[in-house]
């Protein structure tokens, strides 16, 4: 047996495996011998079938199978021994005139090689790392929201701006008959809001769906229609008022503070604001970290230049899935997946060049922290080590959970590396402005 490699270019290679008869004939003869012993053929005693008949019936199929086994084994070993970093899987080069009776069988395999490149974490960039703050306006909004959440619903006779209405939207032609509860402030314009103010139970108000709410999802929610139905919808709907209610906000007193946080933990509005600010900014920090991670990776994808064996990968995609693809379908799929592939290669390069590794003890320790945190949320502030150990064992025995937690641990390692290496501009920003940065609104 002989294995050689011809590097077509930096990203493509051909591996040739030559098999002499002595490399595979012994395996073929053994399989055929087993067939001879066990085959049931009418007119012959079991085990007494002539070998010539066995070879005629099964010889080619056994030869193909045994040669294929050897090829796969030798090719895999060669890739490992040569430390070849390949993309996709090796593709056999088809030869319609292949001579299976030749003294030496020669097989070619195409390889797509991973590109060589470096990742510069400390290079010039326009990345901003945000510190998100809960400003006074947000804290006031949150306190008002909590007061309403724990407040008391009071029935009213006449609609005012702060009220919510229970009623039914109807347009028979469009199939609208939706019973909802809706605050007056849900309507986007003051013009539509004023149509309801001063109305009583039993009154009907007609509004047009165009621009009725600030997005189409609310139109779907309140009219009970699907996305296709509300897209560009411009019809009149009649709302019949069945109930008018207002929420009397809970008082900001000690009883209210104790209900929220436990007895004596918060004793004033100032302390309430500090508590809300602390909890909110912990959540904001997680979101800001994720945006920073995404922005760094997006920058690296755009700024790290390397070529891919694109033609090989398109060819590989044609046969990689359960359903074969046409050449055009594979080209389209490659265009969709190229960015993801670049991301994976860059991420892998960062991990190897910065020695970011995972070990089981790290994963176990991280999982233990998660379990204790979850148990505390359900009132088990001081669980026994044995109980925690038992739950951790069950979680980590699930492969999907193990994979998910491993990714979280590696994500934290990557974030720590980026915080240390990437020279980003630091900016303090209120949450509302941060949302605009996230979604571009």
End-to-end CA distance of the chain: 64
pLDDT one-digit tens code per residue, 290-305: 999 999 999 999 999 9
Same domain, 317 and 420: yes
Give the chain's domain count. Answer: 3
Same domain, 291 and 415: yes
**Distances, alpha carbon 23 to alpha carbons 18, 28, 29, 69, in Å:** 9, 10, 12, 12
Distance between CA 212 and CA 222 in Å, rounded?
Answer: 11
Looking at residue 43, its pLDDT comes to 66
Mean pLDDT, the chain, rounded, equals: 91
Same domain, 174 and 306: no
Q: Which residue has the tokens 């009649």?
A: 238
Give me the CATH number covering residue 85: 3.30.70.1050
Same domain, 10 and 77: yes
Last residue of a domain, one of 198, 232, 248: 248
Same domain, 31 and 177: no
pLDDT one-digit tens code per residue, 33-86: 887 787 776 767 776 778 888 788 888 999 999 999 999 999 999 999 999 999
pLDDT one-digit tens code per residue, 376-423: 878 787 888 898 999 999 999 999 999 999 999 999 999 999 999 999
pLDDT beyond 70 at 167: yes
b/e per residue 379-396 (b: at least 16 CB within 10 A): eeeeeeeeebeebbeebb
Q: Is residue 123 part of a domain?
A: no
Q: Is residue 144 part of a domain?
A: no
Q: Is residue 258 part of a domain?
A: no
Give all strands (DSSP E) within 303-430, no chain letters: 425-430
Last residue of a domain, one of 200, 231, 248: 248
Same domain, 230 and 334: no
Q: Is residue 119 part of a domain?
A: no
pLDDT one-digit tens code per residue, 15-29: 999 999 999 999 999
Same domain, 240 and 347: no
Give me the CATH number covering residue 232: 3.10.50.30
pLDDT one-digit tens code per residue, 189-198: 999 999 999 9
Same domain, 302 and 433: yes
Q: Report yes or no: 405 and 366 within 8 Å, Cβ to Cβ.
A: yes
Domain range holding 295?
283-439
Looking at residue 357, its pLDDT comes to 92
Q: Report yes or no: 431 and 134 within 8 Å, Cβ to Cβ.
A: yes
Q: In what order do the strands lie in the sheet with 2-7?
A: 2-7, 12-20, 104-113, 86-92
Last residue of a domain, one of 113, 138, 166: 113
Q: Is residue 47 part of a domain?
A: yes
| Confidence band for 440, pLDDT divided at 50, 70 and 90 | low
- Cα 77 to chain centroid distance, Å, stands at 33
pLDDT beyond 70 at 349: yes
Average pLDDT over residues 159-187: 94
Q: Is residue 109 part of a domain?
A: yes
| Confidence band for 441, pLDDT divided at 50, 70 and 90 | low
Same domain, 178 and 310: no
Q: Report yes or no: 306 and 87 within 8 Å, Cβ to Cβ.
A: no
Q: Is residue 145 part of a domain?
A: no
Q: Is residue 130 part of a domain?
A: no
Average pLDDT over residues 255-269: 91
Same domain, 108 and 214: no
Looking at residue 422, its pLDDT comes to 95
Same domain, 326 and 394: yes
């Amino acid at each position: 047996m002989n294995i050689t490699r011809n590097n077509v270019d930096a990203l493509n290679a051909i591996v040739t495996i030559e098999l002499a008869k002595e490399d595979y004939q012994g395996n073929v003869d053994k399989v055929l011998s087993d067939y001879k012993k066990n085959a049931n053929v009418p007119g012959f005693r079991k085990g007494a079938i002539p070998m010539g008949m066995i070879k005629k019936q099964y010889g080619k199929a056994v030869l193909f199978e045994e040669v294929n086994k050897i090829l796969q084994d030798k090719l895999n070993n060669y890739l490992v021994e040569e430390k070849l970093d390949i993309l996709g899987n090796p593709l056999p080069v088809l030869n319609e005139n292949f001579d299976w009776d030749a003294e030496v069988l020669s097989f070619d395999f195409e390889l797509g090689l991973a590109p060589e490149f470096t990742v510069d974490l400390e290079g010039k960039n326009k990345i901003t790392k945000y510190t998100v703050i809960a400003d006074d306006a947000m804290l006031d909004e949150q306190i008002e929201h909590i007061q309403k959440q724990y407040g008391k619903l009071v029935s009213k006779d006449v609609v005012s701006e702060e009220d919510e209405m229970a009623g039914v939207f109807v347009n028979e032609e469009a199939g609208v008959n939706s019973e909802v509860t809706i605050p007056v402030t849900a309507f986007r314009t003051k013009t539509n809001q004023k149509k309801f103010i001063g109305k009583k139970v039993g009154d009907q108000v007609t509004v047009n769906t165009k621009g009725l709410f600030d997005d189409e999802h609310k139109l779907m929610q309140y009219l009970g229609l699907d996305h296709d139905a509300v897209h560009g919808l411009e019809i009149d709907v009649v709302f019949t008022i069945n109930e008018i209610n207002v929420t009397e906000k809970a008082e900001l007193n000690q009883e209210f503070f104790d209900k929220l946080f436990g007895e004596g933990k918060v004793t004033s509005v100032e302390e309430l604001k500090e508590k809300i600010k602390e909890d909110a900014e912990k959540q904001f920090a997680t979101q800001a970290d994720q945006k920073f991670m995404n922005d760094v990776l997006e920058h690296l994808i755009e700024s790290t230049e390397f070529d891919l064996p694109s033609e090989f990968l398109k060819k590989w995609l044609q046969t990689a899935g359960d359903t074969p693809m046409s050449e055009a379908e594979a080209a389209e799929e490659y265009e969709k997946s190229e960015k993801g592939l670049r991301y994976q290669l860059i991420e892998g390069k960062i991990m190897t060049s910065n020695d970011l590794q995972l070990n089981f003890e790290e994963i176990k320790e991280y999982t233990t922290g998660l379990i204790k945190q979850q148990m505390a949320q359900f009132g088990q502030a001081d669980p026994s080590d044995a109980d925690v150990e038992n739950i951790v064992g069950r979680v980590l025995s699930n492969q999907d959970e193990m994979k998910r937690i491993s990714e979280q641990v590696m994500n934290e390692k990557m974030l720590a590396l980026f915080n240390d290496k990437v020279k980003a501009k630091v900016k303090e920003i209120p949450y509302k402005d941060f949302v605009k940065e996230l979604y571009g609104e």
